[in-house]
Structure 1
Amino acid sequence: MDSLTQIVLGSSVAALVVPPNHRRRAILAGGVLGTLPDLDVLWFNVFSSDVVTEVTWHRGPSHSLLVLTVLGLLLWFLLKSRSSLIQASPLRWLLAIWLALITHPLLDAFTVYGTQLLWPMKTPPVMWATIFVIDPLYTVPLLIGVIAAWRLSPHKTAQQASGLGRARAARNWLIAGLLVSSAYLAWSVAAKSLVDRVASQSLVALNLQSAPRFSTPLPFNTLAWRVIVMVPGGYWLGDRSLVADQGAMQFTFHASDNQALAQLASIPQLKRLLWFTQGFVAVHAQRGDDGELRLILADLRMGLEPDYFFRYDIAAIDEHGGWVAAPEITLMPESGDLVRTLNWVWKRIYNSKATL
């Protein structure tokens, strides 16, 4: 999820478990800890020029539940001897630190990017794909709760009746923000289940009920969804609006040069990408600005046909007409009209015939 969301989520959970007179400090500390796992991007930007490493190791060790649990214990132990707040309520602050850290990757796992919750185990990244990476309907309740709690929380002590009342009100705002945002997240899970059920029924007619597939919400909402189904020669795309669509789900086939991909699949960088994307990719030949024919791999999980956010130059054609791996896989510039795409998403929610 985006940084603002992670900050207010970390602030919310941390501030909720500490004593009332610690709440403002917890809001600040929880916000910092809530965004800490994403600082891995700074490491890769400084020390790595390899795009595959940058993409596939983001949300890696820094998002591991095991790593963050150990980190939380270490931070608590180091700060306990230096902070009078933690000394005053050590177990509550231990819980606050741990929750602020681990809620970050758990929320990330609800997106489609892929989060390595179980690192160092070599299981594929977790991608429950029920919510887009930016969704104001999830973030705003948390933000309101944190702002209200900050304004209502006492600076030091809460001995007077008015101070106790404000402290209770601050707690209630935090709880309300978490309840509303969590309810929205639960709705996203239910919405995905509804879409998957219709997709399963509709794919029977194409004899694709057992084919690998995934569903993900279209940008900034949980009412319009996309389902992608992988087959040996390409992939099928289907859209579903929970508002406008009735009956069976319609799918459109798109070809992919999977034979060319198979010839290059032993390349370590490419193997890493295929593991990270769990095979939800498409491969097409495309001429570059220099007129040379290139083989482009698109990550089908993020973006809309044909403009995907992550497109990689993986090979060039040789003098014999075969594909030869690029010396280094590179990321292609983003293409497409973002404003036009977002306008279509909005129309698609309410119009089953809207076209991109």
Structure 2
Amino acid sequence: MDSLSQLTLGAAVTVAVMGKRVPLWQSALVGAVAGTLPDLDVFVDHGDAIRNMTLHRTESHALLLLTLIAPLLGWLVAGMTRSRPYWRSWCLAIWLALITHPLLDLTTVYGTQLGLPLTDFPFAIGSMSIVDPLYTLPLLLALGVALWRRDARGLRWNRAGLLVSTLYLGWSMLVQAFATHQIEQALVRQAVQPQQVLVTPTAFNTLVWRTVVMTPERYGEAYWSLLSPSRPLVIRWFDRHAALFEGFRGEWHAERVAWFSHGFYALRQQGTDTLIADLRMGEAPDYTFTFNLGTPQQPAAAPERQPSVRPSLSQAWHKLRERL
């Protein structure tokens, strides 16, 4: 999820645990920092764009490792804030602020390796957009009221914000399951036999869902709306140029994208170079993560990420209205 959501969630969780044991601004500040800490791994350069993408949300998002460092951080914070009697509460609050970060990231489609060091599998539910104001605003509003009031009623507001935002996450998963069922039924009616189907929300909402349909030779992209569930599913098909992958079979960067994307990838030629795109994020023809692999004879030692075109807010709003 976006940094504002993670910061706000960390602050809200810590305020809820610490209550009036310490000043609310203090617990909110500590929670905001703890909720932001896991994403500081974006400042680590691993040498090339593909490594940077696939090594984000790794050790810093591992539930076991975060659990191990939480007591140390709790002890340090209790000393810095001169609240040693509450160090156990600080440990719990900071632990929750830390682990709710990867758990929230888990709801997006990117992939979070929260099982390290036991497994490096990039887990992803894909029921939430990276940015969704309907998740963040209740948290932010309720936390603001709590910091403004600084009393028991303010704390109830904060807990209500956590409840509403958590229920919204549950809503997203229920709608995703319903959308997936409807889309699979539509594929059966169209006699499409896919290898894989991905269903994720479009930006800023949980009403319009994007689906990627994979077959051995091509992939399809379609949109489904909760407000018009019976509308025929219109699939745009594209050649995934699977044969191009054979020239890069065994090459680390190409194999890494194929693994990280869970098989939702496509290739294409650009001059003499081969580009590989993770189809889960963005939409045709501009995907958020597209990389230049070079040529089979001379693979790129450090593949570069290709620039993607982001629609303006007015264009995004127009597309959303159409798809609704």
- The interval holding the TM-score normalised by the smaller chain is over 0.9
**Aligned equivalents of 1:284 and 1:145: distance in 2?**
47
**Aligned equivalents of 1:270 and 1:197: distance in 2?**
32
Alignment partner of 1:269 out of 237, 253, 265: 253
> What residue number does 1:137 align with?
134
> What residue number does 1:298 align with?
277
**Aligned equivalents of 2:245 and 2:196: distance in 1?**
17
Please list, as runs of the form range in 1=range in 2, the aligned pairs for 1:247-326 lying within 5 A after superposition.
247-287=231-271, 293-316=272-295, 324-326=298-300
Please list, as runs of the form range in 1=range in 2, the aligned pairs for 1:217-256 lying within 5 A after superposition.
217-256=201-240
Letter in 2 for 1:348: E
Residues 17 and 337 of structure 1: CA distance in aligned 2, closer, same or farther (over 3 Å): closer
Per the normalisation by structure 1, the TM-score is 0.85
- Once the two structures are superposed, residues 24-70 of structure 1 have per-residue CA deviations (whole angstroms, 9 ceiling, x without a partner) of 211110001001100011122xxx33111111111111011111111
In the alignment, structure 1 residue 91 sits paired with structure 2 residue 85: no
- RMSD between aligned alpha carbons? 1.9
Q: Which moved more, 1:30-39 or 1:242-251?
A: 242-251
C-alpha deviation, 1:330, in angstroms: 1.1
Residues 216 and 323 of structure 1: CA distance in aligned 2, closer, same or farther (over 3 Å): farther
> What residue number does 2:172 align with?
188
Q: Secondary structure at the match of 2:280?
A: coil
Could you list the structure 1 runs, at least 4 aligned residues long, displaced by more than 3 angstroms after superposition. Answer: 77-83, 205-210, 336-341
Residues 267 and 96 of structure 1: CA distance in aligned 2, closer, same or farther (over 3 Å): same
| Structure 1 unpaired stretches of 5+ | 154-166, 288-292, 317-321, 351-356
Paired residues of 1:201 and 1:248 also in contact (CA < 8 A): no
Letter in 2 for 1:17: V
In the alignment, structure 1 residue 77 sits paired with structure 2 residue 75: yes
**Aligned equivalents of 1:33 and 1:334: distance in 2?**
31
C-alpha deviation, 1:343, in angstroms: 2.9
Bigger Rg over Cα: 1
Please list, as runs of the form range in 1=range in 2, the aligned pairs for 1:102-251 lying within 5 A after superposition.
102-153=99-150, 167-208=151-192, 211-251=195-235
C-alpha deviation, 1:88, in angstroms: 2.1
> What residue number does 1:342 align with?
316
- Once the two structures are superposed, residues 128-149 of structure 1 have per-residue CA deviations (whole angstroms, 9 ceiling, x without a partner) of 1111111111001111111111
Residues 26 and 296 of structure 1: CA distance in aligned 2, closer, same or farther (over 3 Å): same
Residue identity (%): 35
Residues 340 and 173 of structure 1: CA distance in aligned 2, closer, same or farther (over 3 Å): closer
> What residue number does 1:163 align with?
none
Paired residues of 1:224 and 1:348 also in contact (CA < 8 A): no
Residues 340 and 171 of structure 1: CA distance in aligned 2, closer, same or farther (over 3 Å): closer
> What residue number does 1:159 align with?
none
**Aligned equivalents of 1:315 and 1:280: distance in 2?**
20
Letter in 1 for 2:6: Q
Paired residues of 1:110 and 1:131 also in contact (CA < 8 A): yes
**Aligned equivalents of 1:7 and 1:35: distance in 2?**
6
Please list, as runs of the form range in 1=range in 2, the aligned pairs for 1:26-105 lying within 5 A after superposition.
26-44=27-45, 48-85=46-83, 87-105=84-102
**Aligned equivalents of 2:228 and 2:191: distance in 1?**
26
Q: Secondary structure at the match of 2:44?
A: helix
Q: Secondary structure at the match of 1:62?
A: helix
Q: Secondary structure at the match of 1:89?
A: helix
Paired residues of 1:282 and 1:300 also in contact (CA < 8 A): yes
- Once the two structures are superposed, residues 315-343 of structure 1 have per-residue CA deviations (whole angstroms, 9 ceiling, x without a partner) of 23xxxxx7642233111111354446413
Letter in 1 for 2:29: L
Residues 344 and 308 of structure 1: CA distance in aligned 2, closer, same or farther (over 3 Å): farther
Paired residues of 1:224 and 1:240 also in contact (CA < 8 A): yes
Letter in 1 for 2:233: M
Paired residues of 1:218 and 1:345 also in contact (CA < 8 A): no
**Aligned equivalents of 2:100 and 2:38: distance in 1?**
10
Residues 235 and 15 of structure 1: CA distance in aligned 2, closer, same or farther (over 3 Å): same
Per the normalisation by structure 2, the TM-score is 0.93
Letter in 1 for 2:14: A
